A and B are shown apart, each in its own frame.
Chain A
């Protein structure tokens, strides 16, 4: 491919490569009878189709999920970079142009617009495991309610509660306030992740620029990807060790705990109404059990100590008796007849 190629020629080359990709992919998955799709289909789609064909949700293991998820992101990035390389548009392009191509690779079709140009936030969202997914779903459930609250100017959140249901109203006000505080903290956290993503591309450009000398140029997609990972971690490390991040991280954690706590109180109230055992009751039982266990252990050890003390006292008494028995022959008192007899016999 030469520099003098027209856009039309470049398109042809790229389409040929795309077709080659899908034909090879189709050959590799022949057993699954996959038909090659339109050559312009994003490459990671192939992984998704294939995963659906082979995927058995009942047997899907976590490692396979993580592997596929990482592979999708990787292949998408590779397609973006290869597209740039195939056109030869960037053969002598500076690091910035390659960095832009890499950035484009993260913005996969169909992704949440909020995550655009923010691969770090996307990464963190993808990471959420069972412990956090539930909480996210809960947040989504409350989102319309909060949107309505925000629409009404939030004034009602601070309105004094009164009447028969005042306790309930106050509780819901607190819960809504906690959710809003949490959303605000998460937004500030995501803003820092965006900053981290932007910084990662700056560092990536610097790292690329350092490879522009002959003999140091990058000739493999994997090496390119690894270089971006180094840049991303470096950028994230800078942000994550900043004072601002420390504050925001603490705010997110604390705000989430306040939301959880409000929800727990509500669940507890419902539990009491339905005559179900509650978390507080269980805590109380566990605390008593723990205190009893400690007391019992102390008593057992105290018992062991008493036994040891008794044994030591007994041994001391025996030693004292033996000492007394040895001391007697040299005492000032007249020798006992038996001892005198023994002395005579020597």
Chain B
């Protein structure tokens, strides 16, 4: 017996249905307006160069005594944390009583190409942490680092442990040399100096192309074939387009920061091997003595769980908690499961004595 039991007439009908949906939906797609994003009101607290520090405003006053600052990656826009009303980590945290701040890095241009990780971590993040702490008259705040922003937050907490009350690392790469880390594997043969010296800033298109090629058939073809199924559903289409907007609305990368990130993190794996310096400050993860919550996604193809899990072996705290989320790198913010599980887990953990 063969593996296929295709009835030609049924198969033809299936193909025709596909064509009909496409014909009806593609016209609608062309007529749809661009989507909006960002569900929660926010106020600007501090501004420096292209960076803006925001405080989110919930429907009721925060009950948390200690504010939480979200440090997002440089490679994507931070509105993923507050994409739309029913897909918002921020909104849920506010509803639970947390006081949430976020750093928006902006879009670096060529005038920012000499920004280093020293500027980002010892400069921008430190000043934002100080601004938030001063506003709340506290000496320490909570830090929630996401992806590359999580790696930055680990560096920051190791350099300035006295400024951090509790640290949350979300989909954060720690060990960059695990065998399943495709992105890291590819960067190892790259001449980062030649790359940055030639390009200056690293163009967003190039970064996006690199991410898509991690799973080219799934991300470049199957996803759009599947789109035909929802072409007649306006809400689903808006959700899809909003996500497309986020995926491709990427900032260029400041050259010098990119150079160090590739050489010291991806190639040198210094976060776990040691020897990492940010500016003139050494990063020793053993200095992280505050409570740590490590959240990672089990189906993450960008930051495999094996890259995040080793955090517990390298930090100095004994107060370590892990949350393995059933989903991917993006699903951890936007899936229905994420809305139910992630904000409440963070809130509960922050509230622990």
- Residues B16-33 near A (CB distance < 8 A): 16, 18-20, 22-23, 26-27, 29-30
- Tell me the complex Cα distance, A98–B2, Å: 9
Chain B interfacial residues counted at CB < 8 A: 71
- Tell me the complex Cα distance, A221–B206, Å: 34
**Of A56, A120, A217, most B-chain CB atoms within 10 Å:** A217
Given A85-B6, A208-B3, A224-B4; A126-B220 close (CB under 8 Å): yes
**List of B residues within 8 angstroms of A175 by Cβ:** none
- Tell me the complex Cα distance, A212–B1, Å: 6
- Tell me the complex Cα distance, A293–B3, Å: 67
- Tell me the complex Cα distance, A50–B23, Å: 8
Expressed in whole angstroms, the minimum distance between the Cβ of A253 and any Cβ of chain B is 5
**List of A residues within 8 angstroms of B220 by Cβ:** 66, 70, 123, 126-127
Are A211 and B6 in contact, with the CB atoms below 8 A?
no
Chain A interfacial residues counted at CB < 8 A: 103
Are B227 and A67 in contact, with the CB atoms below 8 A?
yes
Expressed in whole angstroms, the minimum distance between the Cβ of A302 and any Cβ of chain B is 14
Show 23 A/B contacts (Cβ-Cβ < 8 Å), sorted by A: A56-B30, A61-B30, A63-B224, A66-B224, A67-B29, A70-B221, A71-B228, A74-B225, A79-B15, A85-B7, A86-B8, A98-B2, A126-B220, A127-B220, A212-B3, A218-B4, A224-B6, A257-B199, A258-B194, A258-B198, A287-B114, A293-B49, A294-B119
Contact of A233 among B20, B49, B218, B224 (CB under 8 A): B218
Are B191 and A297 in contact, with the CB atoms below 8 A?
no
Q: Across chains A and B, which 9 residue pairs bring their CB atoms closest together, nearest first?
A: A250-B189, A131-B205, A70-B224, A290-B114, A85-B6, A217-B5, A86-B8, A208-B3, A211-B3
**List of B residues within 8 angstroms of A287 by Cβ:** 114
- Interface-located stretch among A88-96, A138-146, A162-170, A320-328: A88-96
Q: Interface on chain B toward A: helix, strand, loop, or mixed SS?
A: helix
The answer to whether A112 has its CB under 8 Å from any CB of chain B is no
The answer to whether A29 has its CB under 8 Å from any CB of chain B is yes
Question: Contact mask B235-269 → A, CB, 8 Å, 1/0?
Answer: 00000010010001000000000000000000000
Are B20 and A241 in contact, with the CB atoms below 8 A?
no
Are A247 and B189 in contact, with the CB atoms below 8 A?
yes
- Tell me the complex Cα distance, A82–B8, Å: 6
- Tell me the complex Cα distance, A139–B261, Å: 30
- Interface-located stretch among B85-93, B178-186, B313-321: B178-186
Expressed in whole angstroms, the minimum distance between the Cβ of A184 and any Cβ of chain B is 15
Other contacts beyond A28-B16, A74-B221, A290-B115: 8, CB < 8 A? A59-B30, A64-B30, A71-B228, A95-B2, A214-B1, A218-B5, A241-B179, A254-B194
Are A128 and B209 in contact, with the CB atoms below 8 A?
yes
Are A85 and B11 in contact, with the CB atoms below 8 A?
yes
- Tell me the complex Cα distance, A26–B180, Å: 48
- Tell me the complex Cα distance, A56–B185, Å: 42
The answer to whether A225 has its CB under 8 Å from any CB of chain B is yes
Are A129 and B12 in contact, with the CB atoms below 8 A?
no
Contact of B221 among A73, A214, A241 (CB under 8 A): A73
- Residues A117-141 near B (CB distance < 8 A): 120, 123-124, 126-132
Question: Contact mask A245-258 → B, CB, 8 Å, 1/0?
Answer: 11101110110011
The answer to whether B123 has its CB under 8 Å from any CB of chain A is yes
Q: Interface on chain A toward B: helix, strand, loop, or mixed SS?
A: helix
Expressed in whole angstroms, the minimum distance between the Cβ of A39 and any Cβ of chain B is 12
**Of B198, B212, B218, most A-chain CB atoms within 10 Å:** B198
- Tell me the complex Cα distance, A73–B179, Å: 33
Are A218 and B3 in contact, with the CB atoms below 8 A?
yes
Are A233 and B8 in contact, with the CB atoms below 8 A?
no
Expressed in whole angstroms, the minimum distance between the Cβ of B257 and any Cβ of chain A is 12
Q: Residues on A close to B: CB < 8 A?
A: 1, 13, 17, 20-21, 24-25, 28-29, 43, 46-47, 50-51, 54, 56, 59-64, 66-71, 73-75, 78-79, 81-82, 85-86, 88, 90-95, 97-98, 120, 123-124, 126-132, 208-214, 217-222, 224-226, 229, 232-233, 236-237, 240-241, 245-247, 249-251, 253-254, 257-258, 260-261, 264, 279, 282-283, 286-287, 289-291, 293-294, 297
The answer to whether B324 has its CB under 8 Å from any CB of chain A is no
**List of B residues within 8 angstroms of A240 by Cβ:** 182, 185-186, 214
The answer to whether B60 has its CB under 8 Å from any CB of chain A is no
Are A74 and B18 in contact, with the CB atoms below 8 A?
yes
**List of B residues within 8 angstroms of A74 by Cβ:** 18, 221, 225
Are A67 and B182 in contact, with the CB atoms below 8 A?
no
The answer to whether B215 has its CB under 8 Å from any CB of chain A is yes
Are A94 and B2 in contact, with the CB atoms below 8 A?
yes
- Residue of B with least CB distance to A83: B8
Given A92-B1, A120-B216, A131-B203; A47-B11 close (CB under 8 Å): no
**List of A residues within 8 angstroms of B218 by Cβ:** 229, 233
Are B225 and A253 in contact, with the CB atoms below 8 A?
no
The answer to whether B339 has its CB under 8 Å from any CB of chain A is no
Are A249 and B10 in contact, with the CB atoms below 8 A?
no
- Tell me the complex Cα distance, A126–B225, Å: 15
- Tell me the complex Cα distance, A283–B225, Å: 44
**List of A residues within 8 angstroms of B29 by Cβ:** 61, 63-64, 67
**List of A residues within 8 angstroms of B49 by Cβ:** 293
**List of A residues within 8 angstroms of B20 by Cβ:** 24, 28
Contact of A219 among B6, B30, B205, B209 (CB under 8 A): B6
**List of B residues within 8 angstroms of A85 by Cβ:** 4, 6-8, 11
**List of B residues within 8 angstroms of A209 by Cβ:** 3
Are B200 and A283 in contact, with the CB atoms below 8 A?
yes
- Tell me the complex Cα distance, A43–B214, Å: 30
Are B244 and A63 in contact, with the CB atoms below 8 A?
yes
Are A21 and B22 in contact, with the CB atoms below 8 A?
no
The answer to whether B163 has its CB under 8 Å from any CB of chain A is no
Given A63-B241, A67-B29, A260-B199; A131-B194 close (CB under 8 Å): no
Given A209-B3, A219-B6, A251-B189; A67-B26 close (CB under 8 Å): yes
**List of A residues within 8 angstroms of B186 by Cβ:** 240, 245-246, 249-250
- Tell me the complex Cα distance, A241–B182, Å: 6
The answer to whether B197 has its CB under 8 Å from any CB of chain A is yes
The answer to whether B166 has its CB under 8 Å from any CB of chain A is no
The answer to whether B195 has its CB under 8 Å from any CB of chain A is yes
